Structure 1
Amino acid sequence: MNDSAVASSERPGRLFSPTLSLVGFGVLLGWHFIILYQPLPLAEGFAPSEFLLARQVILNASLGLAFALGGRLLSNLPQGVTARSSAVAYAAIAVGTAGNIALVAGSALNMAWIMVAVVLIGAAEAVLTLLWLRFYSETSENYSGQSLGASAIIAALICFFSHYLAFEASALVLIALPVLSGTLLVTAARGIPLRKNDPLGAGVPDWESARRPYAKTTAQLMAMALFFGMAQGCHSPSKTLLGIADPPTILGAALAGAVIFALYARSTLLPNLSPIVNTATLLFLGGMMALPFCAGFLSQVAAVLIMTGFIFYFALTLIFVIDLVRTFDLNLTRALGANQALEYAMFAIGVISGSALWSAYENSPVFPFLISYAAIFVLIVITLFFTTERPPWEADRYKPRSLETSCGPLAEESPEECLEPEESASDVLCQRFCLTPREAEVFALLSKGRNAEFIQNALFISNHTVKTHIYNIYRKMGIHSLQELLDLLDAEEDARSEGRRARALGDETR
């Protein structure tokens, strides 16, 4: 089969383009930004700053709990069974819409009921987020970078323009956002092929190899969330340390999204994310350095830098976890649920801590410097000692030596030498089925249980090229799945072991 035939068989038609079909996650993020930062009707007896801080704490805490529980509860929900996934999405839409209506009602309810509404919103948002990002990981092609970049732009613009709408119009927008996001999710899942239906992308789950890069990324995200929350918590009616709720500040998220979108739109392979990760960290640190200087201009600069740096890192973390899940065949809802639960828990702790410290030391000129430079110190330590790893990754089970001893380009033995008894079963199969040098490299990784995404990263070739090599290997060997390949390899190893035992018995007899 030629390349064009492979492409046509692997890429059935879609109802939407990859970017347009996933703007629903941008709508979901826009809903999140509005709940966090936009003024809404207040309960009687509460100042705007008190209401905003209470809402942020409750929303972040409920998100943390919902991500932790949802990651477990949804981990066994079949992606291919659209009826069950759609039912969960529709339930989240109903809960989120009910929470929005209660929040908009505002003054007609007391504070306790408003906080219940925020809890419902957090639960619905977490479920829809997990469904959206699981969908990203399960689509047959990995375009999460473009989609998440576009989502950050859309979310920032929704929040920015909603600041300038009349109350009635902004209330309608708020109520419509979860409905629109969930409906796009259900529709897109029906129109785009899922990776689980592609046998050439399947591999063997390998959490041990993913644990280290996952932990490093999560640790830095937790630290950034903690200090971002602390800076937001330093808020009172008379003075605010971080003007994050100002409309221009949210445009920093749009800037971060535009850079990520452009980076992925121009690359057919996974781009080098290290410069973007470093830039995100430097922007966040630069904002923290400007934070203690409360002059109007510097305060706005600090807010934009912190918001831009954090959204950069937040989006890259989601992309990173999706790539990690695809490469090592992990369960996304569990991996992402734990990651996001820790992030939002640290947000809530940060807001509470910042608010408490601000109440006690608001008039101390040294206090802003202490928060700022504590954040700088912690992030520098994490960056130096827990540097975030980016693809390509090397799995613990992957031995580069296997490429050198296989019948690949690094092998210098003659065909006769390649069939000597000391050669591995993998080497024998390479010769028996006449694999090309590149196919032998791919076969060496497949024999370790690696999937298409991992091989793409390890060999620096496109996903389409990897799948073409896998198809040719399967065709030559007369198999149809990775499990059959592993069974064939096990059978060859068993046969070789039996041969060695027979020769040993023959030597003893003589």
Structure 2
Amino acid sequence: MEKLRGAWGAALGASLSPKRVAGAALQWLWMLMMFYSIVPYRFSSDVRGSLYMGLLISLVAMVVTMLFVAVIVRRERVGSNRSIVGGSAFMMSAGSVLAPFSDPTTPAGMLALGLSAVMTGTGSAVLFLCWIELESGLGGRVALVELAGSLCAAFAAGSVLIAGPTVPVVASIVVMPMLSAVLLRRCTASLPAASAPRESEQQLSRSTVALFVKALAGAVLIGVLMGFFDVVSGCKTYEVQDVYGTFLFLTGLAGALAICLIAVFLHRDGIFYSYRVSMLVLCLGCLFTPFMSDNNTYSSALIFGGYHCFVLVLCVVCIDVSSSFRVSPARAIGLGFVALYGGETAGSLFAHSLEATGASMFDLTLVTLVAVSLLLIAHLFLFTETDLIKIGIGEVSLVGAAAPSETPADEVADPVDPSVIIAERFSLSPRETDVLPLLLEGRTISRIQETLFISAGTVSTHIRHIYQKTGVDNRQELIDLAHETVEQAERGAAGEQGEAG
């Protein structure tokens, strides 16, 4: 216990906010109860039909909303607008009130289902984006701990609520968005000045755009897997017991808890180990597909847990994109989740298009091969760990961003070496001191690796340590620090010459 307390306090204890964790947990909990539990739809004559039809419509609404935000929002923070936050929470609550009247077998029930799904999808997309946007001002490491901790709390509470009486649970679901919005407003008001939005964005280079397109394509494939298995195992092909929801939540709790522990004890490389855990759990879920016919459908439960682990990773990746490449947080988050939710929508649509008949062992084997192949493609060629490194340290240059070597000749000839001064001021290790000047020259990871004869992983570790010690978030900020160091040294030298004269 002392070791846990020491690791928590040394790494993150002073930076964590119970208020932020509680507010985000309410948002997670509402989404879990509305989109993945039958509680709000128990009064319907077709319980699972209402749940999964509502989820599909909500996903479409979420994709449209996230895409709208990604296109429209450039610099301002969505969460700083009180009307937007309050309006999204109201839509979520109103949609929760309509959910018990949903019924796809009657015209009135179908109207209530459609209105509820559109309001819940639109409102939850905005409020969820606001919470991740708020976390973006804290840095990826703290955000991963807080988001994983809040998701753990949501899964734990959901495992209890899902077995509770319908009317009180639905009443609590209606209240959750309002409470979450109130906490969001209070947390936003207490934000430090350093987390204010950047004044302008810079145009991204082609290599940066290609990197983002690959990552988004990987997120699409993960979403497709989740959407397909969720619908097929939950309502389309097999009859499952009501305890299936509890089984999903407990699996999600185990995954979120694993990510939380990784973020605390392996905070320097937490995002990489979290990504590996999410891929491992997703792969196990795909391999368990032949056991899908059981009442608990182990395959979809594992995929559900791995999917939510990946959601946490994607949140941090969006935060890193915002900080490393000077992209608006709302835009980065919006594009990331357009890809994920768009893929989930596509997977759900494909699953709904299948006939509701039992699948043979050959069919399940074929599904297993396709699912594992898609997962390997996403992991090995699209959403790779190397791409995570590049995004995390901002390796890919921005259009118009010049390295110090491209400065005018009179400045290049200046004898002041900022690398030496920065290394002494921030107590860099000998190897970090070797990496620093190459980093300031604009060298990529592969070029630094070739120059120093070390592995790419070691290079990325040294770069992240340099960023942590110097207090910068990306390469451009490190270059700005070098320029400031040179200017300070020049002013100091000029002052000494003036005194001597």
**TM-score normalised by the chain length of structure 2:** 0.75
| Contact 1:67–1:127, Cα closer than 8 Å, also in 2 | yes
Moved more, 23-32 or 430-439: 430-439
440, 455, 465: which one pairs with 2:469?
465
Determine if the alignment matches structure 1 residue 280 to structure 2 residue 266. Answer: no
Aligned sequence identity (%):
13
Q: Could you tell me which residue of structure 1 aligns to residue 3 of structure 2?
A: none
Q: Quick one: distance in 1 between partners of 2:282 and 2:341?
A: 18
- The alpha-carbon distance between structure 1 residues 329 and 464, as it changes in their structure 2 partners (threshold 3 A), is same
Measured after TM superposition, the shift of residue 170 of structure 1 is 0.3
Displacement of 1:383: 2.4
Equivalent position of 1:271 in the other structure: 269
Distance (Å, rounded) in 2 between the aligned partners of 1:197 and 1:237: 47
Find the partner of 1:366 among 336, 354, 362: 362
Whether 1:308 and 2:305 are equivalent positions in the alignment is: yes
Q: How far does residue 172 in structure 1 lie from its aligned partner after superposition?
A: 1.6
- 1:276 partner letter: S
The residue matched to 1:143 in structure 2 has which SS?
helix
Give the counterpart letter for 1:371 in structure 2. V
Secondary structure of the corresponding residue to residue 296 of structure 1: coil
Asked if 2 retains the 8 angstrom alpha-carbon contact of 1:288 and 1:376, the reply is yes
Does residue 1:93 correspond to 2:100, yes or no? no
1:185 offset after TM fit, Å?
Answer: 0.8
Structure 2 match to 1:125: 124
Counterpart position of 2:51: 52
- Distance across 2 between alignment mates of 1:52 and 1:75: 35
Among candidates 285, 288, 291, match of residue 290 of structure 1? 288
Contact 1:89–1:127 under 8 Å retained in 2: yes
For 1:332-371, list aligned pairs within 5 A: 332-359=329-356, 361-371=357-367
Which residue of structure 2 lines up, in the alignment, with residue 497 of structure 1? none
Could you tell me how far 1:402 is from its partner in structure 2?
A: 6.9
| 1:430 alignment counterpart | 416
Whether 1:211 and 2:197 are equivalent positions in the alignment is no
Which sections of structure 2, spanning at least 5 residues, go unmatched?
1-13, 426-432, 443-458, 473-477, 492-501
Q: CA deviation at 1:87?
A: 2.2
Amino acid at match of 1:460: R
Equivalents in 2 of 1:186, 1:331: separation in Å?
A: 20
CA distance in structure 1 between the partners assigned to 2:48 and 2:196 by the alignment: 50
Q: 1:98 to 1:457 in 2, by over 3 A?
A: farther
Contact 1:244 1:303 in 2 (8 A): no
What whole-Å deviation, never above 9, does each CA across 1:440-466 have from its counterpart, x for those lacking one? 987986797xxxxxx997633265631
Instruction: Classify 1:44/1:145 alpha carbon distance in 2 versus 1 (closer, same or farther; 3 Å).
Output: closer
In terms of fraction of residues, the more helix-rich structure is 2
How far apart are residue 308 of structure 1 and its match?
1.9
Q: Is the 8 A contact 2:422 2:482 kept in 1?
A: no
Distance 1:71 1:402, change over 3 A: closer
CA distance in 2 between partners of 1:61 and 1:198 (Å): 29
1: CA distance between counterparts of 2:410 and 2:48? 69
Which residue in 2 is equivalent to 1:103? 99
Contact 2:230 2:300 (8 Å CA) reproduced: no
Tell whether the 8 Å contact from 2:290 to 2:364 is kept in structure 1 after alignment: yes
Contact 2:75–2:197 (8 Å) recurs in 1 = no
CA 1:102 to 1:475, structure 2 compared with 1: closer, same or farther past 3 Å? same
Number of equivalenced pairs: 439
Q: Distance in 2 between matches of 1:99 and 1:461?
A: 46
Q: CA deviation at 1:435?
A: 3.6
Map of 1:397 onto structure 2 = 397
Provide the residue aligned with 1:160 in structure 2.
159
In 2, Cα distance between equivalents of 1:146 and 1:187: 20
CA distance in 2, matches of 1:32, 1:390: 27
Q: How high is the TM-score relative to the length of structure 1?
A: 0.73
1:323 aligns with 2:320: yes
Any conservation in 2 of the 1:325–1:332 contact (CA below 8 Å)? yes
Question: Measured at CA, do residues 185 and 443 of structure 1 come closer, stay the same or move farther in structure 2, by a change above 3 Å?
Answer: farther
Is the Cα contact below 8 Å between 1:226 and 1:349 reproduced in 2? yes
Whole-angstrom distance in 2 between the partners of 1:248 and 1:478: 61
3-state SS of the aligned residue for 2:58? helix
Measured in 1, the distance between the counterparts of 2:284 and 2:420 equals 57
Q: AA paired with 1:54?
A: M
Deviations 1:282-322 (A, max 9, x none): 2212111112224538x543233212211111211111121
Query: Aligned-pair RMSD on alpha carbons?
Result: 4.1
| 1:210-249 → structure 2 map (5 Å cutoff) | 210-234=208-232, 235-236=234-235, 239-240=238-239, 245-249=244-248
Are positions 1:22 and 2:15 aligned together? no
Q: 1:394 to 1:190 in 2, by over 3 A?
A: closer
Task: Give CA-to-partner distance per residue, 1:179-214, whole Å, 9 cap, x none.
Answer: 111111110011131434599x99966465543443
Amino acid of the residue matched to residue 366 of structure 1? F
Aligned to 2:11: none
The one-letter amino acid of 1:467's match is G
Q: State the alpha-carbon separation in 2 of the partners of residues 163 and 336 from structure 1.
A: 29
| Structure 1 residue 39: Cα displacement | 1.5
Residue 175 of structure 2 is aligned to residue 176 of structure 1: yes
**Distance apart, 1:178 and its partner CA:** 0.7
Displacement after TM superposition at 1:149 (Å): 0.9
Counterpart AA for 2:259: I
Instruction: Give the residue type in structure 2 aligned to 1:102.
Output: L
